[in-house]
Amino acid sequence: MARKKNYQANPLRRAQAATTQTTAIQSVISQLVKSGKARIDMEALLGPHARFASNERSIDFTDSLGLGIDDWVWSVLACLQCILLSGTRESSTVAQYAKSLRVFFSYLATGLASPPITKPEELSPLHIDAFTGWLQARGRQRKQTVETNRTQFKNVKSVLMEMLMRGCIPRVPRGYLKNKTLPWQHGGSRQTSLSEKEQEHVANAIKADLVAIHHGRLLLYPADVQALRLLLVAHRQGKSPTPLLELRRDAMTPGLFPGTIHMRTVKVRGRKVRNSVGRAASANARSRLESEDREIKDVVFALAEGAVLQQAINSTEDLVKEAPPRYRNRVWLYRSQANNKSRNSVTCLTSRTLAKAVSALIQRHNLVGDNGKVLRLNLTRMRKAFFDRAFRSTEGDSVKTANLMGNTPRVAGGNYPSMNEARQAGAAEFLGEDYTAMMRGSARGDGDARSEPLVIKITPVRTASDGTPTTSLDRTPVSGCKDTLNGEHAPHDGRNHCDRYVMCLFCSSFGIVGQVDELWRLFSFQAFAKAELEYLDAMLGAERTTDVALEDLRDRYRISIPYIDQFTKRQFPARIVKEARAKTRNGLHPFWVHQMNMSRRAHERQPGTQ
């Protein structure tokens, strides 16, 4: 009979390991109690060369002592110290645990737990269920999101699991912490990508500030200058926040092709090194920029990410020797101007100092989002915007997009696609019954005419896990159509597609996205409509006639021509609209060139009629 391998640990060894862990944690608790300080100095504990991805350098539970839960405080503090020394968690992760544990201590100190628990040994599954309910009620009172409550519970759960394994809580974990206690809510991430219009405004603001600093017209603190450079690199490269903040001074090397660089970033948590290609400022490109006639009449210095990175490195060469050991190989060094003991000391950008600089940038340029409110700007939104650009550049290829992001298709498709407000408007069925009602009211002079367009109902395009849209739009000479066989003006015979392109703007199946080719087809139709309207006005005269069909067609042209201008100006970035207009001036879409030729020949053959 074949022997079967037994993968179960020896009960005796398991008991000995548990006893060893319990003894070790009790020793740490005794040392903390003797010190009388419910505080961990992570920098002193881990050494000067330890990595700190956030600003948190210490954990302090002193304010939780004397509330009747001292045993909890010492046990939790000892477990956090063991986690730090083990190296299984980043210091920033442990700092987040500490923040959530303060919420747990508040629950314990209120005495709402039934039965009361003052020691870890008294914890039971009933207490966990009661804490979950209290956490949800507290979140509703403070108007917190479900994701915030879930993150707090997950952090507390991680530490409780550690206490169970180390013997601080002498129970079996299975009955305590159930899976899916607070499941994710599919309400969409708050960190949506920046729209093209928002990206354009941010890029112009960064460029204007860097140019003004270069010419001495704008004086900023060194931290704000380094933050502007970092934001430009983030906008161009779409890097993750922590690897970009921890960028090393030797991260940039010459690229394989002229005018390019290689940029290397390290993601410590995932043990990944990513190489990406960027632009370098060549002498020819710089001279060409200086010779061009630009809106900004000053000499524009190189704004490629390679040139900006080199500026950040060169301007901080004198600070490297004075920097702390953990920062000496970082790019984003600066001399602190804070009014405290750290003034004039050399430090590096962190997420907190970057957030302050971003807030100052928004205020200086009065940056507003698509929703009309103050723009929310951070590195996560910029990375998701880079995903959108990569997805469009690769024409929807999820594998190529993930490669540009430095992820697998599953990770990239599950984390980066988002539905911001501009994309909802751009990929929506934006012209339907409301537009027809507006046209009938304002164009024909009815009593309920309104000077402003009605609010159009937005229907977002659903996406699959890899980020590809599940509903496709068919290309037409005007723009896109979600159903050319069964649309409002289609033949509905199951075979022939709709060819009544003049009616596209008045059909609920019509949709448009903010791409140059899409807008080129739309503006080409607008040129055709202008030519037809001029002919109808010349033939029919200024007064309305009794020909209902021709007057209806003329009304549609009168509304659609200015509406296209208003809609594109409101919904899409000026750069995209300008490029599409230029393409239209250079030549109309071939379909509308053909239609205009056919219409002109028909008018010449039958003057005085349609």
Q: With 50 as the cut, is the pLDDT of residue 528 above it?
A: yes
Question: Average of pLDDT values for 427-450?
Answer: 38
pLDDT band at 27; cut points 50, 70, 90: confident
Strands (E), 29-142: 39-41, 58-60
Return the pLDDT at 224: 94
For the record, the structure tokens of 56 come out as 């948190």
Return the pLDDT at 171: 63
Q: With 50 as the cut, is the pLDDT of residue 456 above it?
A: no
Residues 6+ apart with CB under 8 A from 517: none
Percentage of residues of the chain with pLDDT beyond 90:
16
For the record, the structure tokens of 525 come out as 């139709």
Q: With 70 as the cut, is the pLDDT of residue 134 above it?
A: yes
The helix/strand/coil state of 167 is: coil
Distance of CA 168 to the CA centre of its chain: 41
- This prediction has a pTM of 0.61
Distance of alpha carbon 94 from alpha carbon 72, whole angstroms? 17
Return the pLDDT at 7: 57
Higher-confidence residue: 446 or 485? 485
pLDDT band at 398; cut points 50, 70, 90: confident
Distance of alpha carbon 312 from alpha carbon 248, whole angstroms? 11
Question: Average of pLDDT values for 367-385?
Answer: 90
| Phi, psi dihedral angles at 574 (to 5 degrees) | -60, -35
Q: What is the DSSP string of 485-546?
A: TTSTTS--SSSSPP--GGGGGG-TTEE--S-HHHHHHHHHHHHHHHHHHHHHHHHH-SS--S
Domains of the chain: 11-175 (no CATH), 196-415 (1.10.443), 421-605 (no CATH)
Strand order in the sheet with 474-475: 474-475, 480-481, 510-511
Return the pLDDT at 293: 42
Q: What is the DSSP string of 345-389?
A: -EEE--HHHHHHHHHHHHHHHT-B-TTSSB----HHHHHHHHHHH
Place of tokens 């890899």: 466
Number of H helices, E strands in the chain: 21, 10
Residues 6+ apart with CB under 8 A from 263: 237, 251, 252, 275, 276, 277, 278, 305, 309
What length does the chain have?
610
**Contact (CB, 8 A) for 194 and 384:** yes
**Which stretch, 144-148, 250-254, 567-571, has highest mean pLDDT?**
250-254
Residues 6+ apart with CB under 8 A from 579: 516
Return the pLDDT at 443: 34
Return the pLDDT at 441: 38
Q: With 90 as the cut, is the pLDDT of residue 8 above it?
A: no
Return the pLDDT at 562: 84
Distance of alpha carbon 536 from alpha carbon 610, whole angstroms? 8
Question: Average of pLDDT values for 126-138?
Answer: 85
Handedness of CA 238, 242, 245, 247 (dihedral sign): negative
Q: With 60 as the cut, is the pLDDT of residue 103 above it?
A: yes
Q: What mean pLDDT value characterizes the chain?
A: 77
**Contact (CB, 8 A) for 303 and 278:** no
pLDDT band at 301; cut points 50, 70, 90: low
Residue 58's DSSP bridge partners are 41
Range of lowest pLDDT (207-216, 294-303, 416-425, 537-546): 294-303
Question: Average of pLDDT values for 402-426?
Answer: 72
Q: Which of 511, 226, 522 is nearest to 360 (CA)?
A: 226
Range of lowest pLDDT (149-163, 307-321, 554-568): 554-568
Return the pLDDT at 176: 64
Distance of alpha carbon 280 from alpha carbon 1, whole angstroms? 70
Q: With 60 as the cut, is the pLDDT of residue 432 above it?
A: no
Return the pLDDT at 318: 92
How do 480-481 and 252-254 pair as beta strands?
unpaired
Q: Which of 585, 461, 589, 448 is nearest to 522 (CA)?
A: 589
Q: With 70 as the cut, is the pLDDT of residue 530 above it?
A: yes
Q: With 80 as the cut, is the pLDDT of residue 516 above it?
A: yes
Return the pLDDT at 317: 93
Handedness of CA 82, 87, 92, 93 (dihedral sign): negative
Range of lowest pLDDT (350-359, 431-440, 547-556): 431-440
Give the largest Cα separation in the chain, rounded: 105
Higher-confidence residue: 489 or 20? 489
